[in-house]
Structure 1
Amino acid sequence: MERSWKFMKKLTLASLVLMIFTSVYGFANMPRAFFLMGYGSIAWYVLGAIVFFLPYAFMMAEYGSAFKNEKGGIFSWMQLSVGPKYAFVGTFMWYSSYIIWQVNVSSSLWVPLSNAVYGRDITGSLKFMGLEGPQVLGILGMCWIVFVTFVGSFGVDKISKITSVGGIAVTALNLVLLFGAIIALILNGGTLAQPINDFAQTVTVSPNPNYQSTLSLVSFFTFAIFAYGGIEVIGGLVDQTENPSVTFPKGVAFSAIIIALGYAIGIFMIGTFTNWESVLSNPSVNNANITYVVMSNLGYVLATGLGYSTEAAIVTGQWCARFVGISMFLALTGAFFTLTYAPLKQLIEGTPQGLWPKKLLVTKRNMPVNAMWAQAAIVMVFILLVSFGGKEAAKFFDKLITMTNVAMTLPYMFLSVAFPFFKRKQNIEKPFEVYKSYGSALFASIVVTCSVGIANVISIIEPAIAKGRYVDTLLSGGGPIFFALVAFGIYTHYENKNNTPSKPSVKQKATS
């Protein structure tokens, strides 16, 4: 396998931050959080930042700085800290979660595009050659996968340029939300659209009738964790970063703080111009279109506050939705290009020679093109299975989001559990350290692992216990378990075939 990267352009701090921003920060997470929990979501997001995102991000920074010369990303990190079988199971589960993510986004990507063109979501009523809604979205999703794989195969520099555009689009969208909300608040005489009459009740009781029980409230924590997920993806790009021992941890730390603050401020700003009962209680509002409903409402509120007619306010809201649509489309496009390449790179380059067929390891223009096309085929098969399941659009999106939340957060536990082992190994040079002692590293590991574990257990069992939706519970919990068993079987087969013991590779211990 060709592994020459020396002719590639290195990522600067600015481009690294933009890639982290587009990979982790999701503008839609804020309207969705407000829809599910109102102002109460701020407390859960802050808690998620304290017990998960910040300590986890600093772990990733330490890993990345120590293993700056390793091309295998998180697989190399866990292999050198614990062992190859542990690393493979964790990496394969993590990679598999991004397969689900691609299935989700390749179909839901057309919602922002619909809003950009029409000013509203028409994806639920799409018809084409006898196909409806989810089926049409599935066909579009498969076409999108082919397009992204083709463009991405031309090199990481092309991907970097696209993600930079996505990062700029997200920044512009947040500025519109921030300044639009401030203007709306001024026009309303400083009165919040979603009032805070009793602070304690506001931050603990959700206006959403589906989030009233203690179990459902705690299950929302998984949404908060998911909103911060994805920073480990950038670990595979440490070897492509300028002065990685300094630039990488600085980029991770800076991005983590900005993202955490951005979520908290953004959720509060939505409440300045959106009343939950009058705007979001409509049965047509769901997790797929909530972002466009909220931002369209911002345009409407601004127009009416400035004295425009109802008709003009409605048109203003539609144009607001169009702006959100094109911005979200660009942001999701940037994230899609990064997340279809970076996880695959870590799975292919990090794992031992002989584990994958030789044809899968062939590279062109320093990209594992055969593996990328094989991945595209797998994603398209999943899209076909899910999109032709006969579900209406809202349930189709909700089920995909449920699957993605749990599948993407469980593998984080593998990295956090491995961290104390990493800190204990004296032969690994650690040029950047946030956790100065083993005790602090162990404490951070326990906090992150327990946070992710408890949130996911509750999120998995909540649909069955509270709502009798046993299929949702099976989908949420069964998917990660299935992929873990597959990974264990693949690596055990490799060990038996090559008579290879599962212990850290000696040749990779020198990482400085």
Structure 2
Amino acid sequence: MDDQAKKIRWYNLALMAFVSVWGFGNVVNNFANQGLTVIVSWVLIIALYFVPYALMVGELGSTFKDSNGGVSSWIRETMGPTLAYFAGWTYWVVHVPYLAQKPQSVLIGIGWIFNQNGNLVNDMKPLTAQMIALAIFLGFLWIASRGVTSLKKIGTVAGISVFVMSMLYIVLMVTAPAIRGITPATTDITFKTIMPEFNFAYFTTLSMLVFAVGGCEKISPYVNSMNKPSKEFPKGMIVLAIMVAISALLGSVAMGMMFDANNIPKDLMMNGQYYAFQTLGEYYGVGNFFLVIYALSNVLAQVSALVFSIDAPLKILLGDADKNFIPDGLTKVNKHGAHINGYLMTAVLVGILIIVPALGIGDMNSLFKWLLKLNSVVMPLRYLWVFLAFVMVKKASDKFHSDYKFLKNDKLALGVGVWCFIFTAFACIMGMFPTGIETFTKEWWFQITLNVGTPFVLVGLGLILPQIAKGNKQA
């Protein structure tokens, strides 16, 4: 009975995955990107991409239950150590744009805490704001290098608070017309207004949707801790998909009720979460109470995510380093257990990505949106390794055994794995095209050059370390 009590049930898994995968920003950013048509987009992306993705992760976790559960270990088992290194490098390096944006988010949140508006960052010149963001990043990089864990614990509480308030927003906003007599800002919510036009402009927004629903490989280690994984894991993932769908759909409707879908504020991606809670407070007669609580929680959660994302991916890359690919110098740790030269490499790459865009992008709103879009292009690159590992498992299905199978028909499962790989790659490529600015202007060319160049440079840098490691061995 004790062993059974310790097993993770399907509802435990669904809740854990929901908290780790989903966030209010996903609703705000994609509504800002697509307006009401995002409602249909959510249905399609969840049914055709998210559900099979999550179930594939379950099968991979079960297949390689004795590994550490990471993507690089799956690639090592299916394709060898060289590609495993590149999978590990990709997992780490895609966090560089993520780390470059977190200080921006912290600065924006601080402005809302003290001013209750977005003017602090809106009124700054991009280079000034980015210099402050760089200082914030370097400060927390130093804190992370000292092994400080209290911020992570505070961030966990803050993250839960942000999540609870996000759910509260949806409930209070959807019921506001009935409870408070609020007239919705968008009244024309019909089949016609929610159906996207599947044109070039639409396809450039897909990467943001993929970015929103990705990352469920984090839960793969829990597959083998479940009670009857072959039955309960898919049940948990289906419940997760239903929860994400409800949150995404109701959240998008709530945003449409609060903001005119035909006249979306230009800075909704940057300030939309704060506008939402400020307006909600006005509806319910509590002033800026919701806003301040959300801003405080969000800043602490962003700070925690910044510290954790500096440290954790680096440990995955360097903690069990293969000396054929990782130079000895990068594995050096200080007395706090931090990979100090790895931190220095992180500081250089993130610093460049914080400062260089500010030299060619004219205002902070455009800069914030660009960096968010870049994240949606770069971060899903790590998902490609998940689908590649799954495809290789299906191609050698007689060699690999799993207690849980996504689909009993291996050829059909292989086809779904190929579909997810191609769709992810397509979304990343289309996401490279700038949106919201005039085509072929100087800024458009600057943004697309960065969008295309950054992924190639970041992933390409992974070719350098094995050469250095080889040189060290010959010396």
TM-score tier after normalising by the smaller chain length: 0.7 to 0.9
Give 1:75 shift. Answer: 0.8
Asked if 1:147 corresponds to 2:143, the answer is: yes
Query: In structure 1, which of residues 122, 125, 132 is the aligned counterpart of residue 128 of structure 2?
Result: 132
Q: Deviations over 1:26-84 (max 9, x none)?
A: 31121222222222112112222222222112222222233333237111111111222
Give 1:88 shift. Answer: 2.5
Pairs within 5 Å for 1:15-54: 20-21=17-18, 23-54=20-51
Aligned counterpart, 2:406:
434
Q: Distance in 2 between matches of 1:90 and 1:438?
A: 24
Percent of pairs with identical residues? 21
Q: Partner of 1:69: helix, strand, or coil?
A: coil
Residues 134 and 384 (structure 1), Cα distance of their counterparts in 2 relative to 1, 3 Å cut: closer
Give 1:482 shift. Answer: 2.0
Contact conserved, 1:21 with 1:255, CA < 8 A, in 2? yes
Pairs within 5 Å for 1:189-268: 192-196=184-188, 198-204=190-196, 214-233=199-218, 238=221, 244=225, 255-268=240-253
Kindly provide the amino acid, as one letter, of the partner of residue 54 in structure 2.
Answer: A
Residues 495 and 79 (structure 1), Cα distance of their counterparts in 2 relative to 1, 3 Å cut: farther
Q: Distance in 1 between matches of 2:138 and 2:287?
A: 31
Kindly provide the amino acid, as one letter, of the partner of residue 295 in structure 1.
Answer: F
How many residues align? The count is: 459
Aligned counterpart, 1:443:
415
User: Normalising by the residue count of structure 1, what TM-score does the alignment of the two structures yield?
Assistant: 0.77
Give 1:23 shift. Answer: 4.3
Name whichever of 440-449 and 484-493 sits farther off: 484-493
Query: In structure 2, which of residues 104, 112, 115 is the aligned counterpart of residue 115 of structure 1?
Result: 112
Q: Deviations over 1:211-262 (max 9, x none)?
A: xx92221211111111112333555xx3xx6964658957766545433432
Aligned counterpart, 2:78:
81
Q: Partner of 1:436: helix, strand, or coil?
A: coil
Aligned counterpart, 1:180:
172
Name whichever of 475-484 and 384-393 sits farther off: 384-393
Name whichever of 345-354 and 159-168 sits farther off: 159-168
Aligned counterpart, 1:292:
274
Q: Distance in 1 between matches of 2:17 and 2:352?
A: 27
Contact conserved, 1:359 with 1:370, CA < 8 A, in 2? no
Contact conserved, 1:11 with 1:242, CA < 8 A, in 2? no
Aligned counterpart, 1:100:
97
Contact conserved, 1:92 with 1:483, CA < 8 A, in 2? no
Aligned counterpart, 1:409:
380
Aligned counterpart, 1:306:
none
Q: Distance in 2 between matches of 1:191 and 1:381?
A: 46
Contact conserved, 1:109 with 1:332, CA < 8 A, in 2? yes
Name whichever of 12-21 and 369-378 sits farther off: 12-21
Aligned counterpart, 2:3:
none
Aligned counterpart, 2:453:
478
Q: Distance in 2 between matches of 1:19 and 1:393?
A: 35
Q: Deviations over 1:309-358 (max 9, x none)?
A: xxxxxxx4533322221232233344334433332232224542343233
Kindly provide the amino acid, as one letter, of the partner of residue 292 in structure 1.
Answer: Y
User: Normalising by the residue count of structure 2, what TM-score does the alignment of the two structures yield?
Assistant: 0.82
Name whichever of 463-472 and 223-232 sits farther off: 463-472
Q: Distance in 2 between matches of 1:466 and 1:11?
A: 55
Q: Partner of 1:204: helix, strand, or coil?
A: coil
Q: Partner of 1:28: helix, strand, or coil?
A: helix
Give 1:492 shift. Answer: 6.3
Q: Deviations over 1:160-213 (max 9, x none)?
A: 7445314421332123212321331214658643113542233326xxxxxxx9
Kindly provide the amino acid, as one letter, of the partner of residue 287 in structure 1.
Answer: M
Residues 140 and 341 (structure 1), Cα distance of their counterparts in 2 relative to 1, 3 Å cut: closer
Asked if 1:373 corresponds to 2:343, the answer is: yes
Asked if 1:323 corresponds to 2:277, the answer is: no
Q: Partner of 1:287: helix, strand, or coil?
A: helix
Residues 363 and 456 (structure 1), Cα distance of their counterparts in 2 relative to 1, 3 Å cut: same
Gaps (5+ residues) in structure 1? 1-9, 206-212, 304-315, 500-512
Name whichever of 474-483 and 423-432 sits farther off: 423-432
Contact conserved, 1:234 with 1:342, CA < 8 A, in 2? no
Contact conserved, 2:205 with 2:431, CA < 8 A, in 1? yes
Aligned counterpart, 1:67:
64
Pairs within 5 Å for 1:351-362: 351-362=321-332
Q: Deviations over 1:283-331 (max 9, x none)?
A: 5x3421122123322222334xxxxxxxxxxxx4533322221232233
Kindly provide the amino acid, as one letter, of the partner of residue 133 in structure 2.
Answer: L
Q: Deviations over 1:410-457 (max 9, x none)?
A: 232232122121232544442332233312321221221122122222
Aligned counterpart, 1:343:
313
Give 1:101 shift. Answer: 0.5
Q: Partner of 1:453: helix, strand, or coil?
A: helix
Contact conserved, 2:358 with 2:367, CA < 8 A, in 1? no
Kindly provide the amino acid, as one letter, of the partner of residue 212 in structure 2.
Answer: A
Aligned counterpart, 1:309:
none
